[in-house]
Amino acid sequence: MSTNTNNTKVALNSVLEFIKIEPSFASVASRYGVDLSSTMSSSQETYADATALGADLSSLFTKWDELVPSLTDAQADIVIKMMLVEIDNSEEELVKLKASSTLLSEYVNSSIPALQTVSNNIHAQIITEQEEMVTLRANMNSTVSQINQINKELSGSSGFLQGFLTGITAGIYSGLRDKLNKAKSLRSSYAREYVKLQQTSNQKQNDQRVIPQIDSALRSVQSLYTSIVSLENTMEALSTLAKSTEHDGTLIVGTENGKVAAFYRNRFNKDMTALLEWKNVFPV
């Protein structure tokens, strides 16, 4: 397998994989305003076109294999006519694949910079949230210290009980209870805010790990439209030969009676050999 055919096969596998995992990617991207729906629909269309091309190429290779020297002239004439139809069909499907893969590349080109911006923004937000979490943790610790101090006073560990017994009014005791309740409420508020912020930050850290995966998948998908250039050149040469075959009388008259199949095998051998490189590259 050549570099071009291998790159095409890898790209097609990437398109299929992207189609499978796009829903999970889309949920992450959409949280930050990046819409992958057009890329998804274009990927599906591209893969469908690749499958149609694969089916036509498979039929073409089948007819080529059937064109054996043992055929009678009449049989060879039928096979070559069917083969010419398959060449035409394959060329049409390749044109469709080129168009859909080019559009897919355009969608990818618009998505990648947006994802990079998202990645940068997420990174900045995570840093800010982590700084806020440090502040909240410090506030919680401070509030806990206040609560511990008030509890000591209420329990008499700092002389409050003795003072109360010798005439400190119940209003002071009540004031400490109010202060304690407020401190506990503040601690709970800090804790809730901390947990919420931690959950948000964890989600963004997970998203930050996914964004490069989306970027990598898109870049792999994008390579398809460039990898099939070699196939376009091969198909163009084959199509040109097919069109001349249809109009130069060689469909009807072989070089010698009983050797029509051999004539066509020789006529198409170079281009079909080049095309055989692409056998089994496309899905069927």
Helix (H) or strand (E) holding 224: helix 224-227
Is the residue at 82 inside a domain?
Answer: yes
Owner of token pair 């949920």:
27
Is the residue at 144 inside a domain?
Answer: no
The predicted pLDDT at position 33 comes to 87
Distance of alpha carbon 231 from alpha carbon 228, whole angstroms: 5
The closest of 269, 283, 235, 280 to 2, measured between CA atoms, is 280
Report residue 269 as tokens. Answer: 């051998």
Cβ atoms of 133 and 205 closer than 8 Å: no
pTM of full prediction above 0.85 = no
Report residue 240 as tokens. Answer: 């040109």
Domain enclosing residue 39, as ranges: 3-127+209-276
Q: How do the pLDDT tens digits run along the chain, 284 residues long?
A: 678 899 999 999 999 998 998 888 888 888 888 888 999 999 999 999 999 999 999 999 999 999 998 888 889 889 999 999 999 999 999 999 999 999 999 999 988 888 888 888 888 888 888 899 899 889 888 888 888 888 887 776 445 455 555 445 555 667 777 888 888 888 888 888 989 988 888 888 888 888 888 888 888 888 888 889 889 999 999 999 888 886 565 555 545 666 888 888 999 999 999 999 998 899 98
Is the residue at 200 inside a domain?
Answer: no
Distance of alpha carbon 283 from alpha carbon 12, whole angstroms: 8
Is the residue at 174 inside a domain?
Answer: no
Distance of alpha carbon 103 from alpha carbon 106, whole angstroms: 5
The closest of 49, 57, 23 to 102, measured between CA atoms, is 49
Owner of token pair 């070559």:
80
The closest of 34, 206, 199 to 116, measured between CA atoms, is 34
Q: Which residues contact 187 (CB under 8 A, 6 or more apart)?
A: 140, 143, 144, 147
Is the residue at 197 inside a domain?
Answer: no
CA angle 215, 230, 264 (to 5 degrees): 145
Is the residue at 21 inside a domain?
Answer: yes
How far, rounded to the nearest angstrom, does the alpha carbon of residue 17 sit from its chain's CA centroid? 7
Structural domains counted in the chain: 1
Owner of token pair 């700084």:
131
Distance of alpha carbon 38 from alpha carbon 25, whole angstroms: 13
The predicted pLDDT at position 167 comes to 47
The region that residue 159 occupies, defined by phi over 0 for left and psi between -120 and 50 for alpha, beta otherwise, is: left
The closest of 279, 241, 267, 272 to 64, measured between CA atoms, is 272
Cβ atoms of 59 and 86 closer than 8 Å: yes
Is the residue at 198 inside a domain?
Answer: no
Is the residue at 150 inside a domain?
Answer: no
